[in-house]
C-alpha cells in the first residue's frame, strides 16, 4: 500500500470513528499531496509524498513559533496537534547526537576545514538526513563544527 493510499485509508477510518481533528488534518495533507501530483501531472512516489508531508510539518512548526511569539497558545496547540497526527507517517527523526556524528563523518569525507567549506559538507550530508532531520539544525551544527575546526587567525 502506497503512502497516499495509507493516508486515504486512515482518513476514512477517522471519518468512521468520528475523529474530526484527525480527519481534517489528513484531508489537508491529502489535498497538499494531490496539488503536488497535479503540478507534476502524474502520481507521486512515496518519497515525493513524504517530501510533501515533511513540508506540511515544517510549515506547522514555523506557525507554532509565530503563534507563540504572538501569545496565541491556543493556535500553537492546534498546530502541534496536527503535527502529532502527521508525525507517524514520517521517518523517525535523528537525535542531535546522531546528526553531530553524521556531520563529523561528512566533514572527514569532504576534507572540510573551515566555514568556507560548508557548502561541500551540506551537499554531502543532506541526502543522508533528508526527511529525518531539520535542515536548520543540520546547518547550525555544521557551521558550529567547522568554526571550531578552523584554525584561529
Q: Taking residues 83-97, report their average pLDDT.
A: 89
Is 0.85 topped by the overall pTM? no
Query: Is the pLDDT score of 78 beyond 90?
Result: yes
pLDDT digits (tens, 9 = 90+) for 92-135: 888 888 889 998 888 888 888 888 888 888 888 888 888 788 88
- Average pLDDT over the chain reads 89
What was the pLDDT predicted at 150? 67
Domains and CATH numbers, the chain: 3-89 (1.10.1510.10), 96-149 (1.10.10.410)
Query: Is the pLDDT score of 153 beyond 80?
Result: no
Which runs of consecutive H residues, i.e. helices, occur in the chain?
A: 3-17, 20-40, 46-69, 73-86, 96-110, 118-129, 135-149
DSSP 59-98: HHHHHHHHHHHTT-HHHHHHHHHHHHHHGGGSPPPPPHHH
pLDDT digits (tens, 9 = 90+) for 50-75: 889 989 998 999 999 999 999 999 99
Amino acid at each position: 500500500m502506497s503512502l497516499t493510499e495509507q493516508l486515504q485509508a486512515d482518513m476514512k477510518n477517522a471519518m468512521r470513528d468520528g475523529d474530526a481533528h484527525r480527519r481534517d488534518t489528513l484531508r489537508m495533507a491529502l489535498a497538499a499531496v494531490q496539488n503536488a501530483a497535479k503540478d507534476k501531472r502524474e502520481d507521486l512516489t512515496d518519497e515525493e509524498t513524504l517530501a510533501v508531508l515533511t513540508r506540511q510539518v515544517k510549515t506547522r512548526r514555523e506557525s507554532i513559533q509565530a503563534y507563540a511569539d504572538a501569545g496565541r497558545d491556543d493556535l500553537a496547540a492546534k498546530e502541534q496537534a496536527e503535527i502529532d497526527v502527521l508525525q507517524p507517517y514520517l521517518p523517525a527523526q535523528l537525535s542531535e547526537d546522531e546528526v553531530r556524528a553524521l556531520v563529523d563523518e561528512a566533514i572527514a569525507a569532504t576534507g572540510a576545514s573551515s566555514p568556507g567549506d560548508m557548502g561541500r559538507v551540506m551537499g554531502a550530508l543532506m541526502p543522508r538526513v533528508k526527511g529525518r532531520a531539520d535542515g536548520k539544525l543540520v546547518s547550525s551544527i555544521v557551521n558550529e563544527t567547522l568554526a571550531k575546526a578552523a584554525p584561529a587567525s
